[in-house]
Structure 1
Amino acid sequence: MPKIGFIGFGEAAYNIVKGLKGEGASDITAFDKFWNIEPQASMIKKRAEDAGIVLSTSFGEMIEESDFIFSAVSANLAIPLAHESAPYLKKGKYYIDMNAASPMTKETVCEIVLKTNACFVDAAVMGPIPTYKHKVPISVCGNGAKVFMEVFSKYGMDLTYMGEIAGSSSASKMFRSIFMKGFVVLLLETIIAAHTYKVEDDVLLSIQKTLEEGTFHEMINNLLTRGVIHSQRREHEMDEVITTLKGLGVDHIMSEATKHKLKWCTDMGFKDYFQGIPPADYHMILSAMDELSSKKE
């Protein structure tokens, strides 16, 4: 039975711990710096009681008594906490950084941990923890990732191995966020603009029909490969969109960004490179980008 410790016992740690306890993991402790500071202390104690774990009052003792130490705080604390944890880490311990930090931050944390001879795991959460609890999809990498998967897969965790290089998992999460966060605000700009003419439902229905044409891969492949070929025409079309939004007094920052990216496609010369014919696969765009970029250097 692994000895598990959590640094930080906020919403994320609480839900994961509750899930692990339900799967039979019994030796779990947590330390939160607000354990005796109100108003946070009351909530932390309530969560600990509900999850059925004991709160530690000593940061160092919690780490020393744990085999697997989860850092579940916030991105800005990832590096300071790694430094603070280092004196208590040693060979045989696994330090799992679950913070939504950049790959560069995870690489720095990894360096700190490896100097102690402990193993490091970069764990990037790919979904809402309150919804899935311990079963939330998590991408893991680092020199301790394989062992971590072997141990915690038995407790129902949904883990995907991304290799031994620290930062790969968090890079994947960061780049996924470009779409997941960007898609939300793009939709928001769309329906706000459409609402000025009370056509938001019609616009969304039209978008739905387009997105449901074929499989997901077929859809994105078609959008990308045709998009880079017709970027100049669409760039001019976005000028009309922006003019319309300005006239309506609607914020148009996402439309401006769309025009900017379309201009980048035009300036790269994708249309000439592919002789005006959409490539068969979007990976060909990436290869063309590398080739065209090297010629411009």
Structure 2
Amino acid sequence: MKTIGFLGFGEASYNIAGGLREEGFEAIHAYDAAWETPPAAAMIAERAAETAVTLHPSAEALVAAVDIVICSISANAAVPVARQVAPFLRHGQLYVDLNSAGPDTKVQVEKLMPEGVIFVDVAVMGTVPGNRHKVPMLASGPGAAAFAELGNSLGMKITALDGPTGKASASKMFRSIFMKGYVMLLLEAVIAGRSFGIEEDVLSSIGQSLKTDDFRRTASDLMCRAIIHAERREHEMDEVVATLRSLGLDATMSIAGKEKLAWCSAQGLRDYFGGKPPADFQQIFAALR
């Protein structure tokens, strides 16, 4: 039976560990740098006791005790922590970087791995609390297939991608362009709506416009129409920005939308497609080349 060690025992590690325990997997270890620092120490100890996870007093002790090291910390610490633990890693171990970092960071971490240590770039593609160990994950890099095989045998939902380190994390980063931007767009829209007491109406209208049984088709249609009508929509966004400013409201997302529409117009996409929306968004790539 393989042993798993979490390097960092925050919310993600705690939830994944708890889910694995429910599947009957018991060989779970953890180390967290704050294990002796109040008030985090009490929470770490409580979480470890609840999930029956064996806590270790150092990163070196954790690495020595497990076959698979799963690093789940802040993205800005991914490289320094990998550099710290690299001397303790041994031939045949899997080093799984679960951090929400970009592909360049994951490549930097991989380069720090000693010879014989197998690196896995993992991107968590959903919310861990609630989903726990079953949160969808993408894996790439040399150890992707091995990690997916083990994890999926324990009830996890890991998709191994063909390709080098960075492919999984790139997918997450590019997804975040939409997911993070989408939420901020909603916030900007409802705050503006509140000024006229129509925030619920605005939200309802958006919901009706985005209701679909085929998201890909809807997304493709939206993008294909947008590139054709970009110039007209840019002028409409001028009015949106002016309205927000007249109300003394922040217009960050609206200004960004206007600028992206201006970018579309500058690419000459309307002329390229003869004023008619392409049949599928994949055709846009050829036009941009």
* TM-score bracket relative to the smaller structure: over 0.9
Q: Deviations over 1:123-145 (max 9, x none)?
A: 11111111111111111111001
Alpha-carbon distance in structure 2 between the residues aligned to 1:243 and 1:284: 34
Structure 2 partner of 1:205:
204
Alpha-carbon distance in structure 2 between the residues aligned to 1:4 and 1:38: 26
TM-score (ref. length: structure 1): 0.94
1:154 aligns with 2:150: no
Runs of 4+ aligned structure 1 residues displaced above 4 Å come to none
Secondary structure in structure 1 of the residue aligned to 2:116: coil
Note the C-alpha offset of 1:164.
3.6
Q: For the Cα contact (< 8 Å) 1:145–1:164, is it kept in 2? A: no
Structure 2 partner of 1:173:
172
Over aligned residues, Cα RMSD in angstroms?
A: 1.2
Secondary structure in structure 1 of the residue aligned to 2:139: strand
Secondary structure in structure 2 of the residue aligned to 1:166: coil
Counting aligned pairs with the same residue, the percent is: 46
Q: For the Cα contact (< 8 Å) 2:123–2:137, is it kept in 1? A: yes
Alpha-carbon distance in structure 2 between the residues aligned to 1:164 and 1:199: 48
Alpha-carbon distance in structure 1 between the residues aligned to 2:102 and 2:213: 34
Q: Is 162-171 or 172-181 further displaced after alignment?
A: 162-171
Residue correspondence of structure 1 range 1-297 to structure 2 within 5 A: 1-113=1-113, 115-212=114-211, 215-290=214-289
5+ long unaligned stretches in structure 1: 291-297
Q: In the alignment, residue 58 of structure 2 is paired with which amino acid?
A: S
Q: In the alignment, residue 185 of structure 1 is paired with which amino acid?
A: M
Q: For the Cα contact (< 8 Å) 2:33–2:58, is it kept in 1? A: no
Secondary structure in structure 2 of the residue aligned to 1:160: strand
Secondary structure in structure 2 of the residue aligned to 1:147: helix
Q: Deviations over 1:101-132 (max 9, x none)?
A: 1110001111112x331101111111111111
TM-score (ref. length: structure 2): 0.97
5+ long unaligned stretches in structure 2: none
Note the C-alpha offset of 1:205.
2.1
Note the C-alpha offset of 1:213.
5.0
Secondary structure in structure 2 of the residue aligned to 1:92: coil
Note the C-alpha offset of 1:214.
5.6
